[in-house]
Amino acid sequence: MDPLISTDDLMAALAEQAPPTLLDVRWSLLGPPGRDAYEAGHLPGAVFVDLDAELASEPGPAGRHPLPEPGDFEAVLRRAGVDADRPVVVYDADNGSAAARAWWLLRWAGHREVAVLDGGYAAWTAEGRPTTTEQPQPAEGGFRVQPGSMPVVDADGAAQLAREGTLLDARAPERYRGDVEPMDPRAGHVPGALNAPFAAHVDDTGKWRSPEELAAHFTALGVGTGGAVGAYCGSGVTACSVLLALEHAGVTDPQHPAALYAGSWSNWSADPDRPAATGEEAG
């Protein structure tokens, strides 16, 4: 299944007898809460899932958005009506960076049919497609979380990827360089990591770039020349956008996905014994 779905294809799928389960995961690092946007309007049938509270565990030494406990995540998905034999479509406000976190987690949990709405809620409403403020009450789903279907690395694994493979840093260039650090204990990046900002995956409208464009983008970074690939960001959210882009571009595939450093910079920078590189170069 392609990791992206167009507004046209979603509209057609929603008209079928067994439509996909819709999850609204609108979120912004600095707020306001995504639930406010959901309550103001959302796709018909969509259930809101809170990224901070339901797509992550409590922040701590493991990072600002540690992976959720499997049992807790299963309860969230069942409440939303998720079943193993029914496709799931997730969307956020526009560029897919938050929706990619839900996409990745569902894949990690063993769901085989998950897609992100290309262009998100912005594209849907710009085309005059239906929205509602009615909040559905879906029947409880039966999905069973079986974690481990997507690879995860810890700090040591990320350091190894940076040395022996390719480790991509999804943050904005100024955070990668260490010019600024608004969230975490120290500035800089994992030594050896390459900057691959998640904003480069979409155009000015929030639509994802073509597989060909993304493949060229990653080739220019040196991805695909052999060796393992992984990604990180500030806390493990927007790095999932890199993982989706790699798959959409055909650089990786569902049988050989890139790895997520789940703790990301929030985990790495909290350990004073781990080095931090600065500047434009991988370090």
CA 67 centroid distance within chain:
12
Q: What's the CA dihedral at 65, 71, 72, 77 to 10 degrees? A: 100
Q: Which residues of 192-229 are buried (b: 16+ CB within 10 A; e: fewer)?
A: bbbbbbbebbbeeebbbbebeebbebbeeeebbeeebb
Question: Are 94 and 27 contacting, i.e. CB atoms less than 8 angstroms apart?
Answer: no
Q: Which of 233, 245, 251, 259 is catalytic?
A: 233
Outline where 32-154 has alpha helix (H). 34-40, 51-54, 70-79, 99-108, 120-126
Q: Residue holding tokens 């900057």?
A: 195
The token duo for 76 is 């969230």
233 is catalytic: yes
Per-position DSSP letters for 168-192, written without gaps between them: EE-S-HHHHHTS--SSSSS-SB-TT
Q: How far apart are the first and last CA of the chain?
A: 37
Question: Are 41 and 93 contacting, i.e. CB atoms less than 8 angstroms apart?
Answer: no
**Hey, which residues are catalytic here?**
233
